[in-house]
Every structure is written in C-alpha cells, then in structure tokens.
A and B are shown apart, each in its own frame.
Chain A
Amino acid sequence: MNVSQRRYGDKLFDIGLYCLMVIAGIVTLYPFLNVLAISFNNSVDTVRGGITIFPREFTLDNYATIFAFDGLLTGFKNSVLRTVIGTIVGVLSASMMAYTLSRRDFQARKWMSVLFAMTMYFSGGLIPGYMLMRHLGLIGTFEVYIIPAILSVWNVFVVRSYIDNLPIALQESAKIDGANDWTIFWRIILPLCQPVLATIALFVAVGHWNAWFDTYLFNNMKAENTTLQYELMKVLQSTQSGNNYRDPNAQQAIASVSPESIKMAITIVVTVPILLVYPFLQRYFVKGMTLGAVKS
C-alpha cells in the first residue's frame, strides 16, 4: 500500500461521496421545484403532463384564481395572525417560566419543575382535551389557536438550560445595583438569551403556521376562523379521494383552472414564507437543537 494508491482511493471516495450528496439534494428539492413549475404553468397545458422543473406555458392565472377565493384570503389572514400572536406569546411565556425555574433560590422552584416536567410523559388524550375546549367555550373561536398553545414545556426546558449556562455574576451585580427580578428578566436575561429565543421563536412560528388539525377539530364549521393549511388540506383531500370540491366558490374556479394547478399554487403560497425565514436562522436552530438534546 503506497501513498499514490491511497491518494487514488481517497479521490474515488470523494467523487462517490459528492455524487451521492448531489443525488440526495435533488431528491429533496425536486418535489418543490416540480410543484413550483406546475403552479406557474398554464393549467390546461399541465393536464398534458410532462412538466418537470420548468413551466412550459408560463402564466400567473393560477395565483390570480386562488387569491380570488374568500376562504384562502381569510385563511391567510388567520394564519399570519396566529403565527405572529402565537410566537410572541410563546416566546415570552417560555422565557418567563424558564427564568423563574432557573433561579436556584426561588422557593417554589422544585414543585413547579416537577409539575411541568410530568406533563411531558402523559396527556389526557384527544377526547378529554376536546371536552375541555368545549367546557371552556373555545370551540369555534380564534382563541383556540392561541390559548391552549401558550406554553411549550419542551421550550421552557431548552431556555432554562441556556440561562443556567449564563454567568450568574451578571444577575448578582444587577441585584447589588438595586434591580428587582422583573428588571433583571427584561434587561439582562432576555437580551442575553437572544440566540435561544430565535430558535424557539422559529419552532413556535413554524408550529403555528403548519397547524391544521386544530382548525379541523374546533373550527371546521366556522369559515371566518379557517387557516391556510386547513384550506390546502381540504383541497387536497377532496381531489385525492375523487370528489369534487363542494365549495361553490371553488367549483366555479375549477371550471377555468384545474384542481391540480390550484393545489400546486396553494402549496407554494403555504411554503414560501418558511423558505424565506429558516435559512437565516440555521446557525441558531442547529445550536438550539443540540443544546436541547444534550441537556434533557
């Protein structure tokens, strides 16, 4: 075994490796590019098939059609609203709770930690949860998207382990300068936690943006509380099982644009906002994921 042989083997390995990774990249991206191409392609032409990653007859008609749906605009508004409100609430509540649980001198720390940690191992289940929402009068409201999701215990523990790693001296010196716990939280803890807060903000926002089941379960009869994902799910399910989309609004549109093109255009509308955000937060969430997994 000499050096040139080793070099040769190494080169071969690298070529194989790069090919494999490029294939993996194509397999990941192709469905997105395919959907994108079809969403911009003339819907009559699409039926002929054979669209890969470039549109054959470019058009914006599909998008014009879907944005004429009432349901889609309402859904878009609600999805944006729940994502914005839900993320602000989720990040603030998780960091407040995490800060109190990180304070070793806090007298209620122990039982509160246990109370929160326990919930990671059991849940009441679907039906009791549904009944609870009924009793609280949350069914058919917009609040059902926010209130049951105020806090994620997982996020609390992720933020707490981050705070635990901050130098305690900062808090102590602030205390000597006369700051109370409230000011310490807002002025010292929150700014220092920025990286981990960016991570959980991304998780919470994506969770809200992608949620559809709560709309299905609690708001399926309330058109004004619909969400984008639920609208997409309705279109997908109705055409997949072969039924026509029963919404008269939609049926009219289908006369001019095929359901296939509608599905693809909505899919892009739903996906693009995520695409615009996550690459910029990659540095943070990679770190956040690792931290969460190591500490728990």
Chain B
Amino acid sequence: MKTMPSTEHGRSSAVNKRKRFLGRMIEHRYLYLMSLPFVAWIIVFSYVPIWGWLMAFQNYKPRFSILNQKWVGLDNFIELFTDERFYLVLRNTLGMSIMGLIVSFTVPIIFALFINEIKNQFFKRSIQTISYLPHFVSWVVVSGMVYKMLSTDGGAVNQLLMALHIIDAPIQFMAKGEWFWGIVTASDAWKETGWNSIIFLAAMAGIDQEQYEAATVDGAGRFRKMWHITLPGIRTTFMVLFILSIGHLISIGFEKQFLLGNPLVSNYSEVLELYALNYGINLSRYSYGTAIGIFNSVVSIILVFAANYIYKRITKESVI
C-alpha cells in the first residue's frame, strides 16, 4: 500500500515523458522530414553492405539468397593467407602507401614554405592557382599525361634527360616494374602538392607576425626564421593530419594503379583492392573477394585506433 503512490507517480511521469517526447517529435517534424530520408539512405548504402561480409564465410552463388548458401567457415581466409600472390599484393600496397605518405607531407610543406616567402601578391596567387589545377583533373587524364611525358618516343622526361646527357637511350619507364612505385608516387605529388599545401599555408598564416619581427631584430636570416618559427608553427596541424593518414595506410585506393599499370608491371602495380576486383568481380569469386575486403577493413580500423591512441598519448586529445 505504501508503495502505491510512488508507482502511480512513476507511471504518470512515464506517461508525461512519452507525451513530452511525442510533443517534441511533432514540434521537430520538419527536422525529421529533412533527416530521416538520409538516415534511411545511409543505412541502406553504408550499413546493409556489412551484411555482405557473411559472404566471406560462404561459397557464395548469386542465384541463391545470402541465407541459403553453403557455409565454409574460414576456408576463404585460409586460402587468402596461403596465396603467395596475396603477400606480393600486400607488399605493393604498403610500399606505395608509405612512399605516398612521406612524399605527400614533405613536398607540400616545402612548397608551402616557399609560397609563404613570396612577397609579390600577384605572383603568389598565380603560382597557387596553377598549383591547384592538377587536383581537379581526373586520374584518367593524369594517367594519359604520365604515359605521354614518360614515353620512349618523344616523351618530355626522356628528352630532357637525354639533352642533359644523364642517359644515352630513352628509358622504358612504363614497362619496368621497378619504376612503378616511383612513378605512382611522383604523379601523385605532381597532382596533389598544391592542393595539400593549402592547409599548411593556412596554418602559416595563423603564426603571430611579431615573432618574425623579433627574430629579424635578433639578426635571424630567412632560412633561420623558416626553421625556427614557421615550421614549429605548423606542428600541430602536421601532427593531426599525419596521424589521420596513418589510419588510411592500407586503403590507398586503386585508381592510380589501375590506370597507370599494365600487364608488364602487374607484379608491382597490383594492390589489395585491385586484387579483390580481379578475383571478386572479374572472376566472379564473390566470397574470396569479400574476404580480401574484410581483411582490408579490419586492418584499417586497427590502424585508425592505433593512430588515435598514439595521438592521445602525445596531446591528450582525440582525433576520432
């Protein structure tokens, strides 16, 4: 009997709560109208495919539904990890992504340092506009240009090297596997340096001008100011971006490799996603292709969290 009032009260407050909840829902009806279609969309296009991971544990045949397949346990993964080609592909992926990681930070930072030193505003803006151009052009176009510039008959690079007497005969750049990683990295640098420098230039613009004035009074030259003021000034930006990109080490995409590669260099150009594409779709081995994709995703997530953990240790802040 004694507890009655309190449960009564509890019930009525629950009813009130529900009423208030419904009331807010009606009040926010337009917000729901504007967001629920996209919530449904993201569930279908980003979450439903996760169901497809089940395929990796089956011998998937497209004629049956995903629940009516033959289950094979970890067979696909065992096959994957015993395939020699897989290790070759993994080596290519990591090789190109580490080279890309180094170049995509050092070159844009150096470029930004130089741009930052230009005093003539018109010249500065012109160089910047030109440097952004390749970013907006597709990899299809860039790959065509790379083939053109590196070709053995009349390619600009070979011509230049011959004119400078560095080489005697044109180098077959696109036919030699050992050149491939370098070519991918260099094309990426050509395409994205200007674009990647934007963020560093913005960080440099935020550096207190008084520091430079004080350094000038102390007799510091241009290089010393760059080294002691500008570079430390962009350290935080650099750290955040660097750690974020470590998370993407394994998922470097395949566009460049697909478009720049050719059968002659496939031992150096094939990366994980191309391997998944070749097996999974071109050879219709959906289950095997999915297993490759899962490996890719799992490693990526581990890398993201590891990178975030390191970042947290250093700065006590979280990127994620």
A residues near B (Cβ < 8 Å) are: 1, 6, 9-10, 13-14, 17-18, 20-21, 24-25, 27-32, 34-35, 49-50, 93, 96-97, 99-101, 103, 106-108, 112, 115-116, 119, 121-132, 134, 136, 148, 150-151, 153, 180-182, 185, 206, 209-213, 217, 229, 232-233, 236-237, 240-241, 263, 267, 270-271, 274-275, 278-279, 282, 286, 289-290, 293
Contact B35 A112 (CB under 8 A): yes
Q: Known A30-B156, A97-B35; judge A229-B140 contact (CB<8 A).
A: yes
Contact A236 B136 (CB under 8 A): no
Size class of the contact patch on chain B: 35 or more
Told that A29-B133, A49-B154, A127-B290 touch, could you supply 4 new A-B pairs with CB distance under 8 A? A34-B148, A96-B35, A127-B289, A278-B136
Check B21 for interface membership: any CB of A closer than 8 A.
Answer: yes
Contact B281 A24 (CB under 8 A): no
Check B267 for interface membership: any CB of A closer than 8 A.
Answer: no
Contact B133 A278 (CB under 8 A): yes
Measured between beta carbons, the chain A residues less than 8 angstroms from B52 are 124-125, 127-129, 131-132
CB distance from A27 to the nearest CB of B (A): 7
CB distance from B161 to the nearest CB of A (A): 14
At the interface with chain A, which of B96-104, B295-303, B309-317?
Answer: B295-303
Measured between beta carbons, the chain B residues less than 8 angstroms from A107 are 21, 24-25, 28
Q: Known A127-B52, A130-B281; judge A115-B42 contact (CB<8 A).
A: yes
A215 and B50 alpha carbons, distance in the complex (Å): 23
- Total cross-chain contacts (CB, 8 A): 231
CB distance from A239 to the nearest CB of B (A): 9
The residue in chain B whose Cβ has the minimal distance to the Cβ of A31 is: B145
Return 24 A-B CB contacts under 8 Å, by A number: A14-B119, A17-B114, A18-B123, A24-B131, A32-B133, A34-B149, A50-B154, A93-B38, A100-B35, A106-B28, A115-B42, A121-B320, A124-B49, A126-B273, A127-B281, A130-B281, A131-B52, A132-B49, A136-B44, A151-B41, A213-B255, A274-B137, A289-B198, A289-B199
Check B13 for interface membership: any CB of A closer than 8 A.
Answer: no
Q: Known A21-B118, A123-B297, A263-B144; judge A128-B49 contact (CB<8 A).
A: yes
Binary interface encoding of chain B residues 230-261 relative to chain A, with 1 for a CB under 8 A from any of its CBs, else 0 = 00000001001100000100000001001100
Check B202 for interface membership: any CB of A closer than 8 A.
Answer: yes
Contact A282 B145 (CB under 8 A): no
